Amino acid sequence: MMNADSMTSIVTQLNALTDGLFLLSCFAMVAMRQILACLKIFIIQACLLAVSACLLGYLYATEHLFWVASITVAAKVVIIPWLLRKSISDDVYARREVSQVLNIPTSLLIALGLAIFAFALTSPLLPATAGPAKVNLPVGLAGLFIGAFVIAARREAVPEVIGILAMENGAFLAGISIAPTLSLIAELSAAFDGLVVVLVFGLLTRRIYKHVGTTMVGNLTILRED
Amino acid sequence: MELIAMLVILAVAAGLCLIPTESDVPAPAITVLSGIAVAALAVRVALKAATGTPVVAIPNWLACDSFGALIVVLVSYIGVGTSIFSWGNMKRPAGKGGASRLRRYYCLYNLFVMSMLAVPMFTQISLVWIALELTTLTSVFLVCYDKTPEAYEAAWKYAVLTTMGAIVALFGILLLYWGMRSAGGGLFTWDGLAGVMPNIPPGILKTGFILILIGLGSKAGMAPLHSWLPDAYSQAPVPICIFLSFVETATIPYVIFRLWPGLAGPVGATTGTWLVFFGLLSAGIAAFLLIQVKDLKRLFAFSTIEHHGIILVAAGLGGTAAGYSAAYQIMTHMITKSFCFFAVGAVLLVVKDQRIASVRGLVRSFPFAGVALLLGALAVAGAPPFAVFLSEFSVLKAGLTSGQYLAVGLLVLFIAISFCAIMYHHSRMAFGRPDGPVQAPAAPISYVAPLFLTAVPMVLLWLYMPGPLNSLLRLAGATMGR
Amino acid sequence: MTSRLLFNIVQVLVVLGFAPLVKGVLARLKERVQSRQGPSIFQPYRDLRKLFSKDEVVSDQSSWIFRAAPYVVFIAPIFVTLLIPVLTNYPLFFAFMGDMLGGGFILALGGFFAALAAVDTANPYGAMGASRTRMVGFLAEPVFMMVFFTVSFSAGSTIPYIVQENWISPFSNFFTPSHILVVLSFLMLIIAETGSIPVDNPSGHFELAMIDESKSLEYSGRGAALMKWGGYMKFFVLLCIFLNVLVTPWGLAGSQHIYDLLLAIPLVLFKMFLFLLVLVVIESSLSKLRLFRITEFLTAAFITAVAAILVGLLQI
């Protein structure tokens, strides 16, 4: 029979492993060419966030994190992908190459630089006793930065929305480790996923596709001043 | 109790606006009535808060102190003018479903005002963030009200950049919570945070603050992150421009400055420097962009960025006097900027093209709009005898007395450049020979009333400051001045 | 002492003897996945016997390098075998002669000679294959270094026997993110180094598309046999490093008893069989990458390795 101590250490390691895979999924998001692949990676990433939330919820014994996990699964694994698939026709997803500003190896190296920057930014903040936050906080910040980079590097509407969601995944990956006792954390997550992403971006993408006839939002440059 | 009533009135009004009717009258009428009711309640709240005791509706959840009351009274006062203006300005769009689109506009309008009021009322920081997200949520579809590709482009940029900023700010807020827990704090409210802030490790405090500053800054059009702002202004309906401007120069600075009281010592000095830096950057970039601007609404967008910069600098200078001047600047700018947008709305009555080049000789062809636009330009650029001159002067004075000559010098330079740029564009629009004969319509009451409503304080504050308002500003300044 | 020397020799014999079998099983599995009968799993042994009994033809335009290369290619994996845990989980006689970096150098030496020999023949396909192999090699090099750093960083040592201990004691170490990520990264490296799909197609017969195979096109008879056998052993040795050091350090002989050692042989082969199943799935479900996409494949491996070391650093 395992004693509580070694159970804690295994849960901590599993959480760290989840974080490692999370970081990898961030990179994968940068590397993917197809929009559909990007969406799938995002779903995996959301699942990893939910797993980490459950592990930390067990570790800190707070029910808020289980709520975060269930909201994440409901919103990001089921509703949002369904909505994104529904609002834009399939041929957009089937298109092979997402036009990108940079080529993929360069993008990956930039993403790597961002991850190292996140690490450098957060490591002075972490006391030795921080526990799981030692991995979650830097990986979360890296996810945030890489998500922002995805938004900057892509020109299609759906990958940009996925980039925003990836940023949010990063923020919550850090949040569940540093603020597990914040009583409103589940509401924060629900507010973001439900209101902003589903309503604003779901409707906006749909309308842009309907009225403008394209989802290449990067090519919308009527308002750019020379 | 007033606080709950205000939010409920607006929510109910938003619901009532959606009731389908044949005529276009009920929705704007409801909006104007709810605006007046909210303004009356806001004045009551402000009078109570001016005595120095916060108005508490639900302890630890819903309360309003002097700084919050200043924002509340400001938004509801401008809201009255804007709701009247909307009635005249927003016409039923042509085509099928035009009536329901107009009703949806008023519904979202009320919700937008409600979310702006909620920000200074909530005391739980997480809820404040949610309320800020609500302002984005409600305003995105107001920005793309016109349903043109340009409008969608503007709305998309607005949504993407502000949401990115919101997530970065959320990260900062979570960091602050972490710091508060490790310092032994209890409730995550403004007061609870301020109480333990001296015990939070300075690294966490600094990182959290800079993340919040950058995140909210991108929502407020702070300099390097401002690219969405002129686009959104050029596409949004005029009343929405006013409220967007309000979010940028009043609501967001309010949230940033709320963190101020706890930032003492070396952390306070560093964060003050950041505020001054980003403020000067915004003011500087906006001043130079003002020179080359080609679109009437973009001009006022850049002016908003400039004033956002001035407000950040004012707070960053530190000290009670600077805090007072920041609060003063927030108030005068917002009143003046609404006046300007009402004037822009009047100009667009006769000129269907927003480009500055296509507006000529307004004073002759349509004197009502021409004079209003010129007055507004003078006022917002900071010429005496208008209130903005006084508030900008108090900012500079606060900086000079605390000996920060470099920041003040640069600020004076940027203010002077933008003054020249604004006056250059406006003199070309107001004077000269009109391009052709223009049918000058009679000035509609829905344009005159809001202009009058904002012109009175814009001029009167130069001569007379009401006692309660002054004490409100002083208390708010003390909150920011540490 | 003598038993440790003896065991070392047993290890070498195992590698020599079973390397063709592993290759044969892999070929058979691949054919079965494609619903074909496939050759017998002992086909590589028959190939070797046939090649050894044939005459060797050597171009008179080639230099000594061409003649020496097969021996170097054949010997290099045997040297590496002396350094790594093939059957035992305790260090054997030669274990401290070189660490993982040393093993990497020796394997690279074999590859280097093969490439030189390919250029030496003046056969255009040889030079093309050599340059392509070098390209993959150059890109794989940083990945190998990062994997090596990560492993030695978490274990505090570069000796494979010590590294292998580190991952499983205590058991929770097995789930360390740096471990799993290193495994992923090394898997991609093995695919690139052994010329499997998606980097290279080992069963292709079209010279223009070849990367690895085209280097030994000019060899015949004994030279070809040695080159082939060396290639089998290199694959076997890489699998040993991957399975016994990184992924599943179980099933190895724990004591100096000879029965333990003999028991370890089927266990190790079983582990390899399981891995071959995984490899077959990978090879059958992916298509070969375009040559210049290989950069991206190896960049991904590199990023994974860096992520491993980053997360490893964070946990301290």
Q: Do at least 3 CB pairs under 8 Å connect C with B? A: no
Listed by start position, the domains of chain C span 2-314
**Would you state the pLDDT for residue A219?**
64
From the list A182, A207, A212, which residue is nearest B126 (CB)? A182
**Category of C54 on φ-ψ map: left (φ > 0), alpha (ψ -120 to 50) or beta:** beta
Spell out which residues of chain A touch residue B127, defining contact as CB-CB under 8 Å.
184
For B122, list phi and psi in degrees, rounded to 5. -70, 140
Least reliable range by pLDDT among B172-186, B419-433, C86-100: C86-100
Average predicted confidence (pLDDT) for chain A: 82
Annotate A179-189 with b (16+ C-beta within 10 A) or e (fewer).
bbebebbbbbb
Q: Which pLDDT value is given to residue C305?
A: 86
Q: Identify the H or E element spanning B85.
A: helix B66-89
Cβ neighbours of residue C56 closer than 8 Å, sequence gap 6 or more: C220, C221, C222, C223
Chain B residue whose CA is closest to A156:
B156
Residue listed under structure tokens 């509703």: A79
Closest Cα partner for B86 from B142, B155, B151?
B142
Under 8 Å between Cβ of B87 and B32: yes
Smallest Cβ–Cβ distance between B207 and the set A121, A144, A185 belongs to: A121
* A1/chain B closest Cα distance in angstroms: 34
Q: With contacts defined as CB-CB under 8 Å, which chain C residues touch A31?
A: 296, 299-300
* Greater model confidence, C178 or C65: C65
Single-letter amino acid code for the residue at A45: Q
Identify the weakest region by mean pLDDT among A98-107, B334-343, B357-366: A98-107
pLDDT at position A225 is 57
pLDDT of res. A1: 45
Residue type, C236: F
Q: What is the ipTM of this complex?
A: 0.91
Of A163, A141, A166, A21, whose CA–CA distance to B178 is shortest? A141
- Going by their DSSP bridges, the two strands B62-64 and B55-58 should be labelled as antiparallel
What is the Cα B214 distance to its own chain's centre?
A: 18
Joined together, the tokens standing for residue B36 give: 């007046």
* 3-state secondary structure (DSSP) of residue C36: coil
- How far is residue A59 from each of residues A66, A69, B282, B468, C22, measured CA to CA in Å? 11, 14, 45, 53, 44
Quickly state the pLDDT bin for A226 (edges 50, 70, 90): very low
First-residue to last-residue Cα distance in chain B: 29
* pLDDT confidence of residue A222: 66
Lowest mean pLDDT among A15-29, B17-31, B59-73, C114-128: C114-128
What pLDDT score was predicted for residue B180? 87
Q: How far is B306 from chain A (nearest CA, A)?
A: 19
For residues B248 and B162, the answer to whether their CB atoms sit within 8 Å is no
Coil, strand or helix at A107: helix
Interface of C with A (CB under 8 A): 170-173, 175-178, 180-181, 184, 295-296, 299-300, 303-304, 306-308, 310-311, 313-315
| pLDDT tens digits along B442-478 | 888 888 899 999 999 888 888 888 888 889 888 888 8
For residues B151 and A191, the model is more confident at B151
Q: What is the mean pLDDT of residues C282-293?
A: 79
Of A14, A104, A119, the CB nearest to C310: A119
The domain spans of chain A are: 4-219
Would you place residue B79 in the very low, low, confident or very high pLDDT band (cuts 50, 70, 90)?
A: very high
Mean pLDDT of chain C: 82
CB contact under 8 A, A223 and B231: yes
Q: Which residue of B has its CA nearest to A212?
A: B149
- What is the average pLDDT across B331-356? 89
Cβ-contact B480, B67 below 8 angstroms: yes
pTM to 2 decimal places: 0.86
- C-alpha dihedral over A166, A169, A175, A176, to 10 degrees? -160
Amino acid identity for residue C256 in this structure:
Q
Q: Which residues contact B17 (CB under 8 A, 6 or more apart)?
A: B26, B27, B30, B31, B103, B106, B107, B109, B110
A23 part of contact set with chain C, CB < 8 Å: yes
How many angstroms separate the CA atoms of B389 and B393, rounded?
A: 6
Structural contact between residues B317 and B280, judged by C-beta atoms closer than 8 angstroms: no
Q: Return the biggest CA–CA distance within chain A.
A: 71
More reliable by pLDDT, B271 or A145: A145
What's the first-to-final CA gap in chain C, in angstroms?
38
Give DSSP secondary structure letters for B397-422. HHHHHTT-HHHHHHHHHHHHHHHHHH
Chain C contact for A168, CB < 8 A? no
CA distance A191 to chain B (A): 7
Q: Band the pLDDT of B172: cuts 50, 70, 90.
A: very high
What is the C-alpha to C-alpha distance for residues B102 and B105, in angstroms, rounded to an integer? 5
Mean pLDDT of A154-170: 86
User: Residue B482 — pLDDT band, cuts 50, 70, 90?
Assistant: low
Q: How big is chain B by its Cα radius of gyration, in Å? A: 21
C180 contacts A20? CB cut-off 8 A: yes
Cα–Cα dist C7/C99, whole Å = 19
pLDDT in tens, C210-257: 777 777 777 888 888 898 898 889 889 888 888 888 777 777 777 777
**Cβ <8 Å between B150 and A199:** no
| Model confidence pLDDT, tens digit, residues A54-82 | 999 988 888 888 888 888 888 888 888 88
A133 has a pLDDT exceeding 90: no
Of the partner residues C172, C295, C311, the one whose CB lies closest to the CB of residue A20: C311
Q: How many Cα neighbours within 13 Å face the side chain of B226?
A: 26
Q: Does position B111 have pLDDT exceeding 90, yes or no?
A: yes
Which range has the worst mean pLDDT, B237-246, B257-266, B367-376? Answer: B257-266
Q: How many CB pairs under 8 A join A and B?
A: 123
What's B322-349 look like in SS3?
Answer: HHHHHHHHHHHHHHHHHHHHHHHHHHHH
Convert the pLDDT of each residue in B5-28 to its tens digit. 999 999 999 999 988 888 888 889
Identity of the amino acid at B445: I
If pLDDT is split at 50, 70 and 90, which confidence band does B74 have? very high
Greatest C-alpha distance within chain B:
72
* Least Cα separation, residue B403 to chain A (angstroms): 33
86-105 in A: which are within 8 Å (CB) of C? 104-105
Q: Quick one: pLDDT band at residue B406, thresholds 50, 70, 90?
A: very high
pLDDT for C316 equals 63
For residue B439, the 8-state DSSP code is -
- Put simply, the answer to whether A24 touches C176 (Cβ < 8 Å) is no
C-contacting chains (≥3 CB pairs under 8 Å): A
Q: What is the CA radius of gyration of chain A?
A: 18
Which DSSP helix (H) or strand (E) runs through B56?
A: strand B55-58
pLDDT in tens, B209-244: 899 999 999 988 888 888 889 889 988 999 999 999
**Any idea which residue has 């307004």 for tokens?**
B362
* CB atoms closer than 10 angstroms to residue B287: 24
d(CA C67, CA B277): 71
State what percent of residues in chain C have pLDDT above 90: 3
Q: How far apart, in whole angstroms, are the C-alpha atoms of residue B333 and residue B336?
A: 5
Chains touching chain B, criterion 3+ CB pairs below 8 Å: A
